[in-house]
Structure 1
Amino acid sequence: MIATRIGKKSDVPDNYTRLGEYIAAAEEKGEKLHQFWIRNCDAGTNIEDLDLALLEIEAVRRHKPDIADKTYHLVVSFRPGEQDKLTKDDLMAIEAEYAKALGYSDHQRVAGTHINTDNFHMHIAFNKVHPETLKVITPHRDFKILAKVSREMEKKYGLAIDPGMTDGKERDPNKLSPAARDYEAHTWQESFQRHVLKHRGEILEGLGKAKNWQEAHEVLAEYDISIKLRGNGMVLMSPDGQAMKASQLDRSCSKKKLEERFGVFEARQDKQPSKGLHQTRTRHRYKPRPLARHRNTPALWRRYLSTRKTIHRQPKLTARASRNWKTFLLMEAYQDPLSMVLILAHQELLRSTLKTSHQNKMLTLAHDP
């Protein structure tokens, strides 16, 4: 099971009635309604009660005219054939568990399951406005909540396990690839993969709300990341050409999983800036920076960056020494004691990283049958 919140587009009005009708009608080509129910509405619980239930929900929502986003739209995707394992009562119980975990047990909602060939999924449209207190509930870091409930429901109902955004039992989400470790050992600079993993939770939360490839590109661009096809898969790329497999960020970011959500891959369509429009702002730019830090590092780092700017005018040996932070420190150590301090700090950091990596590998081997 993969549970995904469908975020509201900023330029599209929040129309709960339209969403409720969409769930009941199963309008997509080749799609049909499987099961349907309504919760916490006096109008009733069945599809024939939908019109009155939607009026009832809209009456509650009108108490919050200044809130632009009053709908929490959740889609839960199942594996092919799992519709045969689950009764309507099972599906309603699963929906109730998501509602409870998100804080929506007492909220009005419309839910239904759709079948489109092998694509079996559930839509749940929660009214974020509580029908009695009129408080608007918006869950914080909901992707973790959704993953936890999904794993519990898979276990309870004997469904196939789909490791989600926050699952790290089978794979250490912060483990660097051999290529990233080699880059850091060679340059003593932070790798692109470390930059990506540093913002992993935020990136996955943003991707979980994306509805198409262009929105996914915009999320990644905020972190100075581009996504491209390579071979049979996809890679995340830095501005300087470093790359990591998209699935190394999370299994939900594999080519197969992303194309199941967004369709066949589409390259980013750069918008031409014009009046009233703005390009995606890079909030967390990837910049080369020292792997190990010291209170006096900034001064030496500025000197290194300064030499990089004039590298083409330097003697050959000096130019080679300025190729990366590591070689620069090694050359500077002869005349600057601070460089030696930083060399020792980097060596200790790398030694610790390799030791931890080796210990994790031994633990994995020890637990393998």
Structure 2
Amino acid sequence: MIATKIGKKSGVPDNYTRLGEYIAAAEEKGEKLHQFWIRNCDAGTNIEDLDLALLEIEAVRRQKPDIADKTYHLVVSFRPGDQDKLTTDDLMAIEAEYANALGYADHQRVAGTHINTDNFHMHIAFNKVHPETLKVVTPHRDFKILAKVSREMEKKYGLAIDPGMTDGKERDPNKLSPAARNYESHTWQESFQRHVLKHRKQILEGLKKATNWQDVHQVLAEYDTSINLRGNGMVLISPDGQAMKASQLDRSCSKNTLEGRFGVFEARREKAQGKSKRRYKPRPLVRHRKTLTLWRRYLNTRKTLHRQPSLTSRALRSWKMFLLIETHQDPLATVLIIAHQEFLRTAAYGAKQSRRGPKNINLIS
């Protein structure tokens, strides 16, 4: 099991109702709702009660108008085969264990499990505002809490084990975070973190030579990356707003270490000069020798539809959705779908099989 907190995106309003409807609808292509339940709402506990439950939850949240982030969105991903071991009661018990550990036992929430071709997973949307005390609860060091509960649930229900960062093993510097894996799973496009880790050696060599914060900004800008404060730490940020903890690049890039070298953090004083050495831009995770033709068609389609917003343009917001739609008229799309699914399966679970995927399919270099 891998439990991942999906953080609020900068500049995007916190919309609990939209999230609750998403969980109930299982909107992703090829995805369907497996189980659904509601907790701590007078409106009821079933999917038929969702509309009233969301109104009830929003009524509580409106009493905290000054709080921008009032939702804790948790996704729990299971390994292949785990679904068959778990009953509905088991799934609800697992959800309750995460709620108790995070301090949300008495909080309103909706939860549901989804089935798709990639994996079996559970969404839990907690209202961070307590329905009676109106206290806003934000768990501290929740990644440790999530890892602890995951290991306990794996043992209790006989599930496959996914060792986490807190299990006493040295972290693989090239391993993607759950958030980056989630991005790639939903878009089939290279995540910002993969882009950064691909140039890890060069970035670290540049940072070793830095003597102040402005040098740090210049080194990172060469790889289309910026750095800023967030919470109690630092994050690396892509041009399109994706973020990763700076310490995920290397432990030497933690806030304490960098401020120990260069003093209190300083924002960049001027824009980078010239072009980046290695730009981060959308690109597919894997490619066939003819992928470029399909990729250009996807980009052109997005550009055209962007000028005419519609439901179709929203559906084509990712390479994954484009390929799934294209299968009706282009056999190559089907080949690429198989390749992406194989790549993601291998990357996520470390299967002992070739990372090249099907014949004639290669990773982007």
TM category (shorter chain) comes to 0.5 to 0.7
8 Å CA contact 1:104, 1:128 repeated in 2: yes
Looking at structure 1, the residues matched to 198 and 38 of structure 2 have their Cα atoms a distance apart, in angstroms, of 42
**Residue of structure 1 in register with 2:46 after alignment:** 46
**Letter paired with 1:26:** A
8 Å CA contact 1:83, 1:120 repeated in 2: yes
Q: Deviations over 1:72-118 (max 9, x none)?
A: 00000001121111010000000000000000000000000000025
**Residue of structure 2 in register with 1:70 after alignment:** 70
Unaligned runs of 5+ in 1: 178-192, 197-202, 230-234, 243-267, 272-276, 289-297, 299-369
Are the structure 2 counterparts of residues 80 and 130 from structure 1 closer, same or farther at C-alpha, using a change threshold of 3 Å? Answer: same
- RMSD of aligned residue pairs (Cα, Å): 3.9
Are the structure 2 counterparts of residues 130 and 238 from structure 1 closer, same or farther at C-alpha, using a change threshold of 3 Å? Answer: same
**Residue of structure 2 in register with 1:34 after alignment:** 34
Looking at structure 2, the residues matched to 122 and 281 of structure 1 have their Cα atoms a distance apart, in angstroms, of 23
1:286 Cα deviation after fit: 8.4
Are the structure 2 counterparts of residues 96 and 110 from structure 1 closer, same or farther at C-alpha, using a change threshold of 3 Å? Answer: same
**Residue of structure 1 in register with 2:102 after alignment:** 102
Are the structure 2 counterparts of residues 68 and 159 from structure 1 closer, same or farther at C-alpha, using a change threshold of 3 Å? Answer: same
**Letter paired with 1:160:** A
Task: Identify which of 201, 216, 228 aligns with 2:198.
Answer: 228
Are the structure 2 counterparts of residues 281 and 22 from structure 1 closer, same or farther at C-alpha, using a change threshold of 3 Å? Answer: closer
**Residue of structure 2 in register with 1:114 after alignment:** 114
**Residue of structure 2 in register with 1:186 after alignment:** none
**Residue of structure 2 in register with 1:140 after alignment:** 140
8 Å CA contact 1:81, 1:118 repeated in 2: no
Looking at structure 2, the residues matched to 119 and 287 of structure 1 have their Cα atoms a distance apart, in angstroms, of 31
Are the structure 2 counterparts of residues 86 and 236 from structure 1 closer, same or farther at C-alpha, using a change threshold of 3 Å? Answer: farther
1:269 Cα deviation after fit: 5.1
**Residue of structure 2 in register with 1:239 after alignment:** 204
**Letter paired with 2:109:** R
**Letter paired with 1:112:** G
1:226 Cα deviation after fit: 3.1
4+ residue runs over 6 A deviation: 213-216, 277-288
**Residue of structure 1 in register with 2:153 after alignment:** 153
The correspondence of residues 249-264 of structure 1 with structure 2, limited to 5 A, is: none
Looking at structure 2, the residues matched to 70 and 55 of structure 1 have their Cα atoms a distance apart, in angstroms, of 15
Are the structure 2 counterparts of residues 282 and 104 from structure 1 closer, same or farther at C-alpha, using a change threshold of 3 Å? Answer: closer
Are the structure 2 counterparts of residues 282 and 65 from structure 1 closer, same or farther at C-alpha, using a change threshold of 3 Å? Answer: closer
**Residue of structure 2 in register with 1:316 after alignment:** none
Looking at structure 1, the residues matched to 51 and 164 of structure 2 have their Cα atoms a distance apart, in angstroms, of 36
SS in 2 for 1:124: strand
Unaligned runs of 5+ in 2: 208-222, 227-238, 253-260, 262-365
Looking at structure 1, the residues matched to 170 and 23 of structure 2 have their Cα atoms a distance apart, in angstroms, of 37
Q: Deviations over 1:2-44 (max 9, x none)?
A: 0000000011100000000000000000000000000000000
**Letter paired with 1:240:** E
Looking at structure 1, the residues matched to 92 and 154 of structure 2 have their Cα atoms a distance apart, in angstroms, of 14
Are the structure 2 counterparts of residues 208 and 138 from structure 1 closer, same or farther at C-alpha, using a change threshold of 3 Å? Answer: farther
1:217 Cα deviation after fit: 3.9
SS in 2 for 1:153: helix
Q: Deviations over 1:103-140 (max 9, x none)?
A: 00000000000000251000000000000000000001
1:158 Cα deviation after fit: 0.2
Are the structure 2 counterparts of residues 32 and 39 from structure 1 closer, same or farther at C-alpha, using a change threshold of 3 Å? Answer: same
Are the structure 2 counterparts of residues 282 and 23 from structure 1 closer, same or farther at C-alpha, using a change threshold of 3 Å? Answer: closer
Looking at structure 2, the residues matched to 281 and 58 of structure 1 have their Cα atoms a distance apart, in angstroms, of 30
Rg (Cα) greater in structure: 1
**Letter paired with 1:130:** H
What TM-score do you get using the length of structure 2 for normalisation?
0.53
8 Å CA contact 1:60, 1:134 repeated in 2: yes
SS in 1 for 2:197: strand
The correspondence of residues 169-180 of structure 1 with structure 2, limited to 5 A, is: 171-173=169-171
Are the structure 2 counterparts of residues 56 and 287 from structure 1 closer, same or farther at C-alpha, using a change threshold of 3 Å? Answer: closer
**Letter paired with 2:198:** K
8 Å CA contact 1:34, 1:115 repeated in 2: yes
Looking at structure 1, the residues matched to 251 and 48 of structure 2 have their Cα atoms a distance apart, in angstroms, of 58
**Residue of structure 1 in register with 2:87 after alignment:** 87
8 Å CA contact 1:2, 1:77 repeated in 2: yes
SS in 1 for 2:204: coil
**Residue of structure 2 in register with 1:355 after alignment:** none
Looking at structure 2, the residues matched to 134 and 239 of structure 1 have their Cα atoms a distance apart, in angstroms, of 45
**Letter paired with 1:81:** G
What TM-score do you get using the length of structure 1 for normalisation?
0.53
